């Protein structure tokens, strides 16, 4: 198959490298900054530095852009798409993107499936891409706007071929509710934590706990701001829940409730064990 990847940042670029290295498919890469596509071509991540018109020859189109840019690109270039092509995005929120792309492709032969690869590092850009990024990771697919099961099977097979360990099927609405907790809240907490007084005075006083809790505070502020505000209600709800839970620990300390603190910690330990067995 010919696979068009639009956007060669961390996700798109790593997908390009994984597909090129682990499959026989041909990757056509397009990036607004041409020097990036040229570098991708030079290192063998893509077989061709393409243009939107090359969509006409591609069986699968993978969007590696931010949500609004993804919608805009598809809207502007829909007329180039090959009949029957599979379109998948990689955005961190799904409801807004799926509704928009579902509407755009509704009366066409294009088979749109929402996607979200659950992988990443605290760096961005093609310079940090690597083909092993998705090894063992989960790929979330939201096929509610696609009635063609063969398209889901084709995309799932490609994901497994390049290293994903799990395919998770979801609706866009459920995805955004859960991802607010499992991903977005973690970035909020990490960012808020490093605003603390001692965050810049930790040398010699920190080990794994500090490193683990602050890892995702290093982030792309523009991208995460966009993702947060496209999932406002869900993210606000889980932040509120966390605040309520933190207040229980503070109250236990302020009232010298050692038994209550012990129970909170023990319950948290048990829930962590349960989560590891899912």
Q: Which fold has domain 2-170?
A: Rossmann fold (3.40.50)
pLDDT at 206 over 90: no
- CATH 1.10.3660.10 for domain 175-276, yes or no, is yes
Burial bucket for residue 69 (CB in 10 Å: 0-12, 13-18, 19+): middle
Locate tokens 């995805």: which residue?
A: 175
User: What are the pLDDT digits (tens) for 149-195?
Assistant: 999 999 999 999 999 999 999 999 999 999 999 999 999 999 999 99
Q: How confident is the model at residue 124 (pLDDT cuts 50, 70, 90)?
A: confident
- Global pTM reads 0.91
- DSSP states of 185-232 as a string? HHHHHHHHHTTSGGGGS-TTT--HHHHHHHGGGS--HHHHHHHHHTSH
Mean pLDDT score of the chain:
96
Strand 48-49 and strand 60-63: pairing?
A: unpaired
Burial bucket for residue 117 (CB in 10 Å: 0-12, 13-18, 19+): buried
pLDDT at 120 over 90: no
List the domain boundaries for the chain: 2-170, 175-276
Please state, as a whole number, how many other Cβ atoms lie within 10 Å of the Cβ of residue 9.
21
Locate tokens 């869900």: which residue?
A: 234
Across the strands, what pairs with 87?
61, 112
Comparing 2-170 with 175-276, is the CATH topology the same? no
What is the structure's pLDDT at 121?
A: 84
| Exposed e or buried b per residue across 231-268, where buried means at least 16 C-beta atoms within 10 angstroms of its C-beta | beebbeebbeeeeeeeeeeeebeeeeeeeebeebeeee
pLDDT at 277 over 90: no
User: What are the pLDDT digits (tens) for 26-71?
Assistant: 999 999 999 999 999 999 999 999 999 999 999 999 999 999 999 9
């Amino acid at each position: 198959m010919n696979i068009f990847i639009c956007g060669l940042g961390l996700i798109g670029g790593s997908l390009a490298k994984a597909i090129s290295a682990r499959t026989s498919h041909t990757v056509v890469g397009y990036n607004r900054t041409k020097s990036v596509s040229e570098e991708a071509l030079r290192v063998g991540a893509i077989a061709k530095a393409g243009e939107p018109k090359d969509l006409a020859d591609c069986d699968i189109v993978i969007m590696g852009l931010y949500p609004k840019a993804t919608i805009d690109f598809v809207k502007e270039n829909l007329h180039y798409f090959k009949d029957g092509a599979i379109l998948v995005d990689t955005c961190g929120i799904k409801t807004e993107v799926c509704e928009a792309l579902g509407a755009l492709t509704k009366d066409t032969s294009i088979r749109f499936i929402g996607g979200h690869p659950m992988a990443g590092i605290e760096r961005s850009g093609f310079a940090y891409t690597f083909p092993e990024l998705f090894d063992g990771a989960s790929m979330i697919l939201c096929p509610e706007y696609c009635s063609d099961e063969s398209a889901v099977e084709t995309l799932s097979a490609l994901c497994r071929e390049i290293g994903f360990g799990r395919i998770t099927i979801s609706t866009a609405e459920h995805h955004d509710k859960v991802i607010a907790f499992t991903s977005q809240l973690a970035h909020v907490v990490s960012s808020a934590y490093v605003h603390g007084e001692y965050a810049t005075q930790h040398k010699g006083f920190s080990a794994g706990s500090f490193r683990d809790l602050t890892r995702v505070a290093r982030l792309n502020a523009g991208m995460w701001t966009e993702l947060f505000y496209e999932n406002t209600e869900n993210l606000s709800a889980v932040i509120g829940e966390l605040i309520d839970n933190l207040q229980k620990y503070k109250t236990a300390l302020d009232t010298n409730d050692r038994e209550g603190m012990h129970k909170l910690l023990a319950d948290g330990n048990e829930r962590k064990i349960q989560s590891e067995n899912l």
